[in-house]
Structure 1
Amino acid sequence: MLAEAMVHVGRRLVRNYPPLGREYFARRVWNGFRYDTSSLGGPEIRDNEQRVVDLITKYGQDAGRTLEFGCGPGVYLEAVATHTPVPEIVGVDVSAKTLEVARRRVNDDSRLRLVNGDFWADLELGKADVVICANAIHHLGRVRDVIERLMSFVRPGGVLIGNVWTMDHYHEYQRNVHGEMRHLGRSALFLANAMLLRASDGRVHWGSYRSQILYAKEVDEVLRGVGHEVLYRSNTRYLSGFAVRR
Structure 2
Amino acid sequence: MTTIAVPRWRGTSVLNQIGILTGRSVRALVSDPKLMIFSLLQPLIMLLLFSQVFSGMAGTSSFPAGVSYIDYLMPAILVTTGVSAALQSGIGLVTDMKNGVLARLRSLPVNNMSVLVARSLADLTRTALQLAILLVAAVALFDFSPAGGVLGVLPAYLLALAVSWALSWIFLAVGAWVRNAETMQTVGFLAMFPLMFASSAFVPVDSLPAWLRVVATINPLTYAVDASRNLALDMPVGGGVVGALAASAGLLVVGVFAAVRGFRRPIAS
TM category (shorter chain) comes to under 0.3
Larger radius of gyration: 2
Q: Which has the higher strand share?
A: 1
Of Structure 1 and Structure 2, the greater helix share is in: 2
TM-score, L = length of structure 1: 0.26
State TM-score, norm by structure 2: 0.25
